[in-house]
Amino acid sequence: MISIDWELLHQEAKTIMARSYSPYSKFPVGVAALVTDGRIVTGTNVENASYGLGLCAECGLVSNLIASGGGRLVAAVCVDSNGAFLSPCGRCRQLLFEHGGNDLLFMTPDGPLPMSNLLPWAFGPEDLGITP
Ligand code: THU
Protein backbone atom coordinates (compact mmCIF):
# COMPACT_ATOMS: atom_id res chain seq x y z
CA MET A 1 0.00 0.00 0.00
CA ILE A 2 1.50 3.31 -1.11
CA SER A 3 1.83 5.91 1.63
CA ILE A 4 0.17 9.27 1.11
CA ASP A 5 2.03 12.44 2.07
CA TRP A 6 -0.98 14.76 2.35
CA GLU A 7 1.20 17.68 3.40
CA LEU A 8 3.30 17.38 0.23
CA LEU A 9 0.18 17.08 -1.94
CA HIS A 10 -1.23 20.19 -0.26
CA GLN A 11 2.00 22.07 -0.90
CA GLU A 12 2.12 21.01 -4.57
CA ALA A 13 -1.51 22.05 -5.04
CA LYS A 14 -0.75 25.51 -3.60
CA THR A 15 2.35 25.87 -5.78
CA ILE A 16 0.49 25.10 -9.00
CA MET A 17 -2.50 27.23 -7.90
CA ALA A 18 -0.16 30.24 -7.94
CA ARG A 19 0.36 29.65 -11.70
CA SER A 20 -3.38 29.73 -12.50
CA TYR A 21 -4.56 31.74 -15.50
CA SER A 22 -7.89 32.99 -14.18
CA PRO A 23 -8.20 36.69 -15.08
CA TYR A 24 -11.99 36.42 -15.54
CA SER A 25 -13.17 34.62 -12.41
CA LYS A 26 -10.15 35.67 -10.37
CA PHE A 27 -10.59 32.31 -8.68
CA PRO A 28 -7.32 30.41 -8.93
CA VAL A 29 -7.50 26.68 -8.31
CA GLY A 30 -4.70 24.17 -7.89
CA VAL A 31 -4.86 20.40 -7.67
CA ALA A 32 -2.21 17.78 -6.98
CA ALA A 33 -2.57 14.01 -6.99
CA LEU A 34 -0.48 11.00 -6.09
CA VAL A 35 -0.15 8.31 -8.77
CA THR A 36 0.29 4.57 -8.05
CA ASP A 37 3.97 4.72 -9.08
CA GLY A 38 4.69 7.52 -6.59
CA ARG A 39 4.60 10.39 -9.07
CA ILE A 40 2.76 13.57 -8.19
CA VAL A 41 0.80 15.21 -10.99
CA THR A 42 -0.69 18.69 -10.81
CA GLY A 43 -3.04 21.03 -12.64
CA THR A 44 -4.37 24.55 -12.50
CA ASN A 45 -7.33 26.30 -14.10
CA VAL A 46 -6.83 28.03 -17.44
CA GLU A 47 -9.59 30.42 -18.48
CA ASN A 48 -10.40 31.95 -21.85
CA ALA A 49 -11.91 35.20 -23.18
CA SER A 50 -14.62 32.92 -24.56
CA TYR A 51 -15.73 32.17 -20.99
CA GLY A 52 -17.28 28.75 -21.59
CA LEU A 53 -13.98 27.38 -22.85
CA GLY A 54 -12.20 27.68 -19.51
CA LEU A 55 -10.42 24.56 -18.31
CA CYS A 56 -10.70 23.43 -14.71
CA ALA A 57 -7.55 22.58 -12.78
CA GLU A 58 -8.52 18.90 -12.79
CA CYS A 59 -8.57 18.88 -16.62
CA GLY A 60 -4.94 19.97 -16.59
CA LEU A 61 -4.10 17.34 -14.01
CA VAL A 62 -5.63 14.53 -16.07
CA SER A 63 -3.80 15.79 -19.14
CA ASN A 64 -0.52 15.84 -17.22
CA LEU A 65 -1.22 12.35 -15.83
CA ILE A 66 -1.57 10.88 -19.31
CA ALA A 67 1.24 12.93 -20.84
CA SER A 68 3.66 11.88 -18.11
CA GLY A 69 3.01 8.15 -18.40
CA GLY A 70 -0.49 7.43 -17.09
CA GLY A 71 -1.26 5.31 -14.03
CA ARG A 72 -4.02 5.38 -11.46
CA LEU A 73 -4.72 8.28 -9.12
CA VAL A 74 -4.54 7.38 -5.44
CA ALA A 75 -5.09 10.63 -3.54
CA ALA A 76 -5.80 14.24 -4.46
CA VAL A 77 -5.85 17.70 -2.92
CA CYS A 78 -7.62 20.62 -4.57
CA VAL A 79 -7.21 24.15 -3.21
CA ASP A 80 -8.48 27.69 -3.66
CA SER A 81 -6.39 30.86 -3.52
CA ASN A 82 -6.15 30.64 0.29
CA GLY A 83 -4.92 27.09 0.14
CA ALA A 84 -8.24 25.90 1.58
CA PHE A 85 -9.48 22.47 0.46
CA LEU A 86 -11.86 22.88 -2.44
CA SER A 87 -14.62 20.58 -3.55
CA PRO A 88 -14.13 19.53 -7.19
CA CYS A 89 -16.99 20.42 -9.55
CA GLY A 90 -19.25 17.67 -10.87
CA ARG A 91 -17.59 17.43 -14.27
CA CYS A 92 -14.19 17.13 -12.65
CA ARG A 93 -15.39 14.37 -10.34
CA GLN A 94 -16.27 12.40 -13.46
CA LEU A 95 -12.90 13.19 -15.06
CA LEU A 96 -11.02 12.04 -11.97
CA PHE A 97 -13.22 8.96 -11.49
CA GLU A 98 -12.06 7.68 -14.87
CA HIS A 99 -8.45 7.61 -13.62
CA GLY A 100 -8.87 6.76 -9.95
CA GLY A 101 -12.18 4.96 -9.55
CA ASN A 102 -14.16 4.68 -6.33
CA ASP A 103 -11.09 4.41 -4.10
CA LEU A 104 -9.44 7.70 -5.07
CA LEU A 105 -9.16 9.68 -1.85
CA PHE A 106 -9.94 13.39 -1.77
CA MET A 107 -8.89 15.68 1.04
CA THR A 108 -11.81 17.63 2.57
CA PRO A 109 -12.04 19.85 5.65
CA ASP A 110 -13.28 16.71 7.47
CA GLY A 111 -10.37 14.56 6.31
CA PRO A 112 -9.96 12.27 3.29
CA LEU A 113 -13.11 10.98 1.56
CA PRO A 114 -13.24 8.36 -1.19
CA MET A 115 -14.57 9.21 -4.63
CA SER A 116 -17.45 6.81 -3.97
CA ASN A 117 -18.72 9.43 -1.48
CA LEU A 118 -18.16 12.34 -3.83
CA LEU A 119 -19.66 10.64 -6.88
CA PRO A 120 -21.89 7.77 -5.75
CA TRP A 121 -22.92 5.06 -8.22
CA ALA A 122 -20.72 6.65 -10.90
CA PHE A 123 -20.92 5.86 -14.57
CA GLY A 124 -17.53 4.72 -15.79
CA PRO A 125 -15.42 2.60 -18.13
CA GLU A 126 -16.78 -0.65 -16.67
CA ASP A 127 -20.28 0.28 -17.81
CA LEU A 128 -18.86 0.16 -21.33
CA GLY A 129 -17.15 -3.17 -20.71
CA ILE A 130 -13.71 -1.57 -20.37
CA THR A 131 -11.28 -2.26 -17.52
CA PRO A 132 -9.08 0.80 -17.08
N1 THU B 1 -12.63 25.46 -11.09
C2 THU B 1 -11.70 24.47 -11.15
O3 THU B 1 -10.61 24.66 -11.70
N4 THU B 1 -12.00 23.27 -10.59
C5 THU B 1 -13.15 22.99 -9.91
O6 THU B 1 -13.36 21.85 -9.51
C7 THU B 1 -14.10 24.06 -9.63
C8 THU B 1 -13.95 25.28 -10.47
C9 THU B 1 -12.32 26.74 -11.73
C10 THU B 1 -13.09 27.00 -12.99
C11 THU B 1 -13.00 28.52 -13.08
O12 THU B 1 -11.79 28.87 -13.73
C13 THU B 1 -12.94 28.96 -11.63
O14 THU B 1 -12.63 27.81 -10.87
C15 THU B 1 -14.25 29.56 -11.11
O16 THU B 1 -15.31 28.70 -11.33
What separation in Å is there between the alpha carbon of 22 and the centre of ligand 1? 9
Domains assigned to the chain: 6-128 (3.40.140.10)
Confidence check: pLDDT of 1 > 90:
no
62 lines ligand 1 (CB under 6 A): no
Is 58 a known active-site residue? yes
Tens of pLDDT, residue by residue over 34-88, are 999 999 999 999 999 999 999 999 999 999 999 999 999 999 999 999 999 999 9
pTM of the model: 0.97
- Decide: 55 in ligand 1 pocket, CB within 6 A: no
Strands 73-79 and 30-35, bridge-based pairing:
antiparallel
Mean residue pLDDT across the chain: 98
| DSSP line for the chain | -----HHHHHHHHHHHHTT-B-TTT----EEEEEETTS-EEEEE-B--SSGGG-B-HHHHHHHHHHHTT---EEEEEEE-TTS-B-PPPHHHHHHHHHHHGGG-EEEETTEEEEHHHHSTT---GGGGT---
Q: Burial of 113 by CB count in 10 Å (0-12 exposed, 13-18 middle, 19+ buried)?
A: middle
In the predicted model, is pLDDT for residue 101 greater than 90?
yes
Q: What is the pLDDT of residue 132?
A: 82
Quote the CA–CA distance of 33 and 101 in Å, as a whole number. 13
